[in-house]
């Protein structure tokens, strides 16, 4: 696959706190920050069969340019996913996460649906501008593709 083909790939990106740390996520925090960004943001909480936190998941919409992506938040295990995203849209999303959700000084780890399926470990997201984040995500996708060959 050439670089432009890899850049066009879309998958689910999974973001969470680095091992041994927490973001102290709450659904109210995420919903509030999403609505600050876009007052008409789609947010829906599905309570699990075991109460309002355990087994629950929050679904949301996140707009990048003209594109609206869907995502999910879970409190246990703690993390936020963005579905059907390119490396570029995932980079924009993780910058928003860092600026609005992730406590200062706390690391962010990531993986993709494909990386998880292939047993790749989570990787720390560099604290870097968007182009470097995109490069990091593209390198991950190339690693996944290399494992598939």
Whether residue 142 is predicted with pLDDT greater than 70 in this model: the reply is yes
Q: Is 93 helix (H, G, I), strand (E, B) or coil?
A: helix
How many Å apart are CA 1 and CA 7, to the nearest integer? 10
Average pLDDT over residues 54-58: 78
pLDDT on residue 114:
92
149 band by pLDDT with thresholds 50, 70 and 90: low
3 band by pLDDT with thresholds 50, 70 and 90: confident
The predicted-structure confidence for 80-138, as pLDDT tens digits, reads as follows 999 999 999 999 999 999 999 999 999 999 999 999 999 999 999 999 999 999 999 99
The predicted-structure confidence for 4-55, as pLDDT tens digits, reads as follows 888 889 999 999 999 999 999 999 999 999 999 999 889 998 876 554 555 6
pTM: 0.91
Please tell me what DSSP assigns to residue 1: -
The CA-atom distances, in angstroms, between 30 and each of 3, 72, 93 are 34, 10, 13
Cis preceding-peptide flag for 77 (omega within 30 of 0): yes
The CA-atom distances, in angstroms, between 28 and each of 50, 51, 73 are 19, 16, 11
Average pLDDT over residues 49-62: 73
How many Å apart are CA 27 and CA 90, to the nearest integer? 21
């Amino acid at each position: 696959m050439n670089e432009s083909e890899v850049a066009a790939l879309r998958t689910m990106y999974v973001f969470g706190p680095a091992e041994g740390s927490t973001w102290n996520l709450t659904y109210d925090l995420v919903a509030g920050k999403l609505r600050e960004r876009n007052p008409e943001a789609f947010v829906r909480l599905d309570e699990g069969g075991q109460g309002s936190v355990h087994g629950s998941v929050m679904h949301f919409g996140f707009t990048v340019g003209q594109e609206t992506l869907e995502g999910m938040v879970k409190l246990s295990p703690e993390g936020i996913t963005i579905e059907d995203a390119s490396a570029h849209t995932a980079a924009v999303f993780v910058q928003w996460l860092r600026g609005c959700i992730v406590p200062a000084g706390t690391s962010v780890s990531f993986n993709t649906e494909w990386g998880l399926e292939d047993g790749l470990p989570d990787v720390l997201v560099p604290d870097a501008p968007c182009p470097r984040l995109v490069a990091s995500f593209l390198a991950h996708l190339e690693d996944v593709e290399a494992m598939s060959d």
